[in-house]
Structure 1
Amino acid sequence: MKFSIERAALLKAVSQAQSVVERRNTIPILANVLMSAEGDSVSFKATDLDIEVIDTTPAQVERAGGTTVNAVLFHEIVRKLPDGALVQISEDQAAGRLTVIAGRSHFQLATLGKEDFPVMASSDYDANFVCDAPVLRRLFDKTRFAISTEETRYYLNGVYMHVADGEEGRSLRCVATDGHRLARVDAPLPEGAENMPGVIVPRKTVGELRKLLEDDEAQIAVSVSETKIRFATKDITLTSKVIDGTFPDYARVIPTSNSRKLEVDAADFARAVDRVATVSSERSRAVKLSLDEDRLTLSVNAPDSGNAEEELAVAYADEKLEIGFNAKYLQEIASQVDRENAVFLFNNAGDPTLMREGDDRSAVYVVMPMRV
């Protein structure tokens, strides 16, 4: 194998691949990236046995072939090469070495045979559809903050992607919850997604997928089966196992009868929460919201360090209410709002609170209160 490639193109391809690789591996080959040169392109493949990513990029191929090299080491070398450099890569099979040359820099790296590189079993996909990158980005960006990190409740360690009956007909829906807060976001149902099985996309896959969705012009081909999900752009294919579990009936925890309505500037609200929460060093610090006619008072009382209070002008016309929330949860939910106003719907101090973005009903957030 022998090929030449621009440093920028190489770095982009290797970065995508190496991020999948687990830093601690008991199986040496899993620490490697498989590079295969053929025709006028080179592909870079990496896997942790649950996720597989393949990034293909144009290159000047002199001799076709393939080998594997340590992904993290190779990425570090490429990252440190000068901008604009033309990188020449060749393999000496007999010596088990990969030679990397860029200008006056010269590296020789140990390789492992490509025949030992694991292949993710192929799957027959039940649904295949195409989605615009901004649509998928919104679905996952607005729900990922609520993914649980509690390993015992493994079925909450991802985003539940499924077809649902929304307020405007059937929709593609993503839901995540950790038991304390919940995010539910809808998008128009793409053609071909009607028979998609509901799947739980793991947290790590959601993070890797985000890199594919940067380009607003990109079209993402999505394929879904009961056990796998695949996202593909022109150059990159990300295949992942889905979480083998049943996502809970989230509809039961979304309140439908909350009638006390608060409308507040989302950015002002998030900044005010952040300011008053500064006096408390506790991770689960509580912020008290005191609601009166067109006035919201946010306060934190931390016996060890002091207290803080801030008042905001809001739209509120219901009876007085005092309710407490985890400051971090409030900030995260408020930061999801793209529109100017956040609308909170309360019942009482002990019941879940609903939050929407202005009059947009396609994104709904629920947060559990705290005693204050």
Structure 2
Amino acid sequence: MQAKIERAVLLRCLGHIQSVVERRNTIPILSNVLIEAIGTSVIRVMATDLDMQIVETIDAKVEVPGATTVSAHLLFEIARKLPEGSEVALSAADGEMLVRAGRYQSKLKTLPRDDFPVIAEGDLPTSFELDAKDIVRIIEKTRFAISTEETRYYLNGIFLHVSDEGEGLLRAAATDGHRLARYTLPRPAGAESMPDVIVPRKCVGELHKLLQEVGDARVQVELSPSKIRFTLGSAVLTSKLIDGTFPDYSRVIPTQNDKILKVDPKAFGQGVDRVATIATDKTRAVKMALDNDRVTLSVTSPENGTASEEVSGGYSSAPIEIGFNARYLKDIIDQIDGDSVELHLADASAPTLIKENDKSPALYVLMPMRV
């Protein structure tokens, strides 16, 4: 294999690809990327961790078609440190790849192309398109609530499902048992019979990185009950789905919470952040005392002392005191883009519903803490 490629093109491609590759692998070939020089003008680069793979096609000058695999992180670091504007020549033979750019050259060990594993995608019967910006919103509004607890593996991703409500909806939800985030979109054409799926946390992260560079493009989404594939321009991301049953989260979304607080999310979030400064891991609860258009935030820490701050807001129901995990509360408030947020409360032990307004596509549920 022999090919020449612009350093900027190679670096951008490897930047997408190499983050899929785990730093430590017991299987040496999984530390490598597969590089295939095809025809006269195309190089295809692939990386996998056996659960997910990314394939990207880039322009190059192919002199001798062929394929090999080489260390993903090593090639990325070399490309990153090469001079801007340089042309990189790659040639592979006899278990080595020669990398040349200007006066620089290095020889890297390679492994055979035939040893590189490829995910068998099978039939992906559900197919639809979404705007890249809509997928970005889905991810950014929900992924903070994804559980990191491996024993509850079925919560380690974003749950996607469709609903027949109205003219049809596509919903994304994530929860760790303490908080819930849900985002709703109109159901895209082709998604009517889509199975319920859980997209793994790592896939969500890699997809979000790829989406940062595609602008306003449309993304092709294809899936089966076990796999999902996203096609974004020259890149294709394929992932296995989490084999588990997501809980019926609709049961924890309160519908009868009649105490409504309206506040400025920026001022409220900053207030929570300030009083939580003295909190420790043991005392991470912030207490909210609500009374007639006034919210008093307070934290008490046996080790550090106390802090309180009064935040103005709209509230006309009976006085109430309730505690929340300060970080969880701030995570949710940070998702609000507008200049007002509504907290729908019931009592000190019931879940609280948080949303911008009744028309907002995003809603959040937060479980209280004892304070």
Band of TM-score, shorter chain? over 0.9
Does residue 1:127 correspond to 2:111, yes or no?
Answer: no
1:202 to 200, 203, 215: 200
Distance 1:332 1:283, change over 3 A: farther
1:73 matched residue in structure 2? 74
Contact 2:121 2:227 in 1 (8 A): no
Report the Cα distance in structure 2 between the residues aligned to 1:258 and 1:171, rounded to whole angstroms: 24
2:167 corresponds to 1:169? yes
Cα drift, residue 22 of structure 1: 1.1
Q: Which runs of 5+ in 2 are unaligned?
A: none
Deviation at 1:212, TM superposition (A): 2.1
AA partner of residue 62 (structure 1):
E
Identity of aligned residues (%): 53
Residue 213 of structure 1 corresponds to: 211
Look up the match of 2:148: 149
Hey, what's the Cα distance between the residues in 2 that align with 1:217 and 1:102? Answer: 34
Match of 2:313 in 1: 314
May I ask how many residue pairs the two structures share in their alignment?
369
**Partner Cα separation in structure 1 for residue 98 and residue 180 of structure 2:** 50
CA contact (8 A) 2:35 2:67 kept: yes
Preserved contact between residue 339 and residue 358 of structure 1 (Cα < 8 Å): no
Q: Which runs of 4+ in 1 moved over 4 A?
A: none
Which residue of structure 1 lines up, in the alignment, with residue 29 of structure 2?
Answer: 29
Aligned partner letter, 1:191: A
Q: 1:15: how far off? A: 1.3
Per-residue deviation, 1:284: 5.8
Per-residue CA deviations over 1:248-270 (Å, capped at 9, x if unaligned) read 11011111100100111111111
Aligned partner letter, 1:8: A
**Would the alpha carbon gap of residues 323 and 157 (structure 1) be closer, same or farther in structure 2, given more than 3 Å must change?**
same
1:18 matched to 2:35? The reply is no
Number of the residue aligned with 2:239: 240
Deviates more, 1:143-152 or 1:207-216: 207-216
Contact 1:160 1:176 in 2 (8 A): yes
Aligned equivalents of 2:83, 2:282: Cα separation in 1:
43
Measured in 2, the distance between the counterparts of 1:171 and 1:28 equals: 44
SS at match of 1:272: helix
1:252 aligns with 2:251: yes
Q: For residue 349 of structure 1, what is the aligned residue in structure 2?
A: 348
| Aligned counterparts of 1:206 and 1:188: Cα–Cα separation in 2 | 20
Structure 1 counterpart SS, 2:355? strand
Structure-1 separation of matches of 2:331 and 2:68: 44
1:83 positional shift: 1.4
Residue 283 of structure 1, CA deviation: 6.1
Q: Give the TM-score normalised by the residue count of structure 1.
A: 0.97
- 1:32 positional shift: 0.4
Alpha-carbon distance in 2 for matches of 1:216, 1:261: 38
The answer to whether the 8 A contact 1:126-1:195 is kept is no
- Residue type of the partner of 2:364? Y
1:360 deviation in Å? 2.8
**Amino acid across the alignment from 2:355:** R
- Note if 1:47 corresponds to 2:48: yes
Q: Separation in 2 of the partners of 1:193 and 1:48?
A: 28
Q: 2:191 aligns with which of 190, 193, 201?
A: 193
TM-fit CA distance, 1:159: 0.5
Q: 1:275-290 alignment to 2 at 5 Å?
A: 275-282=274-281, 285-290=284-289
1:85-116 superposed Cα distances (whole Å, 9 cap, x missing partner): 1111111x22x110111111111100001001
In the TM superposition, what is the alpha-carbon distance from 1:146 to its structure 2 partner? 0.5
The answer on 1:64 being equivalent to 2:62 is: no
Larger mean Cα displacement after TM superposition, 267-276 or 359-368: 359-368
User: Whole-Å Cα distance in 2 between the matches of residues 26 and 80 of structure 1?
Assistant: 28
Q: Tell me, in whole angstroms, the C-alpha distance in 1 between the residues paired with 2:197 and 2:346.
A: 32
Structure 1 residues 214-257: Cα deviation after superposition (integer angstroms, max 9, x where no partner): 13312110001010000011210000000000001101111110
Structure 1 gap ranges (5+): none
Amino acid at match of 2:45: F
Q: 8 Å contact 1:340–1:358 — kept in the other structure?
A: no
Q: Deviations over 1:91-142 (max 9, x none)?
A: 1x22x11011111111110000100100111221121011100011111111
- Cα displacement (A) at 1:169: 3.5
Partner AA of 1:44 in structure 2: V
Tell me which residue corresponds to 1:224: 223
1:276-313 Cα offsets, whole Å, 9 max, x none, are: 00011226600000101111111111111111111111
Q: Report the 3-state secondary structure (helix = DSSP H, G, I; strand = E; otherwise coil) of the residue aligned with 1:143.
A: helix
Cα distance in 2, alignment partners of residues 110 and 139 from structure 1? 41
The CA RMSD over aligned residues, in Å, is 1.1
